[in-house]
Amino acid sequence: MTPQVLEKLRAIATRYDELTQLVSDPAVQADPAAYRTHTKALADMQELVDCFREYQRQSRALEEAREMAAGDDADLRALAAEEIPALEERLEALEHQLRILLIPKDPNDDRNVVIEIRPAAGGDEAALFAADLFRMYTRFAERQGWKVEVLSMAETGVGGIKEVIASIEGRGAYRRLKLESGVHRVQRVPVTEASGRIHTSTATVAVLPEAEEVDVQIDPKDLRIDTFCASGPGGQSVNTTYSAVRITHIPTGIVVSQQDEKSQIKNKQKAMKVLRSRLYEMELRRQQEAIAKERRGQVGTGERSEKIRTYNFKENRVTDHRINYTLHRLSEVLDGDLEELIGELEARAQSEKLQQATEAEPAAS
């Protein structure tokens, strides 16, 4: 590990100790905002600092073992000779872990998400597949202990979905789901297909980090808000009051409609949540494209035009095309068992970032 990296790690450990002292200060504890900020910073640093201190302990142990191996005592030399390979292996593993922990984290990783799923090519079969995908992500969220709230849903008459927009709330939701954005393809025999021919249909998934009001400044003058009677089957007053809301963001042309709630105020709140998230994601994509044009096509670009995954029913197969990874347990995946797929995607993205960071080290020395 280079001296520059070690110096950076020592500085982080020093800052961690300073923050530990700071959060015990009664004045800081009396300020909820400051206390929350400092404790979050401590939590973010703890794994890295713990790993670095273990690295320091193992480094000292290895240094002592090497001194013993160079000494005059034959028994100590033999003992050291046995210990040194294990210490070197442990130190190498810790160094690798430290390099991973030093990779800058996406500031949006701990955010909640807004997920949007829509059928693309394939008519009714695509709408049915969109419903399957929504069920898959809902089950996955349940496995993580996250909360799912449907913000807007339009269904078809055959059990499919024309569009669904939902919020998923839980720590790390964006980190785990952000690589799900893209075009998903299904290959199967539709229920309505009498001849048994396999059809190919697609649906699009967009995963947006949920934005707060402080993240996106929206000028009320830029909004056109229309109200109208909600359509479709529903409870009392659904079709008789102007509870539905349509918000148009004039500068971008983004339109968000919401009619699921009987209250116009609640529908407006939900519509604004989706609008903020879309505007925030639009700005993020603009920044990412400006910074990393050369990385298009790699894991993490999030281009929605990409065919990222295929679900083949005949072969009981799920293939993620970005990392050429295949599983032969389709039913489990569609039931929300996405851990292996998401884990492989995260590992590949992490490996690429680690390689970039390693290549950049000599330039910093």
> What CATH number should be reported for the domain whose range is 220-285?
3.30.160.20
On whether the pTM is more than 0.85, the answer is: no
Distance from C-alpha of 356 to C-alpha of 365, rounded to nearest angstrom: 15
Query: Which residues of the chain carry a pLDDT beneath 50?
Result: 233-238, 291, 293-305, 363-365
Chain centroid, CA 203 distance in Å: 19
Amino acid 337: pLDDT:
94
| Domain spans, the chain | 3-102, 113-210+303-352, 220-285
CATH number (3.40.50.970, 2.60.40.420, 3.30.530.20, 3.30.70.1660) of 113-210+303-352 reads: 3.30.70.1660
Amino acid 173: pLDDT:
92
What's the token pair of residue 187? 């290959």
Amino acid 159: pLDDT:
83
Amino acid 306: pLDDT:
60
Q: Please give the biggest Cα pair distance in the chain.
A: 95
- ∠ CA 99-105-109, nearest 5°, is 140
Amino acid 194: pLDDT:
59
Query: Given the structure tokens 């949006």, which residue do they identify?
Result: 108
Amino acid 190: pLDDT:
80
Distance from C-alpha of 63 to C-alpha of 143, rounded to nearest angstrom: 45
Strand partners, 227: 245
Query: Given the structure tokens 């190919």, which residue do they identify?
Result: 200
Phi, psi of 185 (to 5 degrees): -120, 135
Task: Give helix then strand counts, H and E, for the chain.
Answer: 9, 11
Distance from C-alpha of 234 to C-alpha of 262, rounded to nearest angstrom: 9
Q: State the amino acid at position 119 in one-letter form.
A: P
Amino acid 239: pLDDT:
52
In CATH, 3-102 is 1.20.1050: no
Amino acid 360: pLDDT:
61
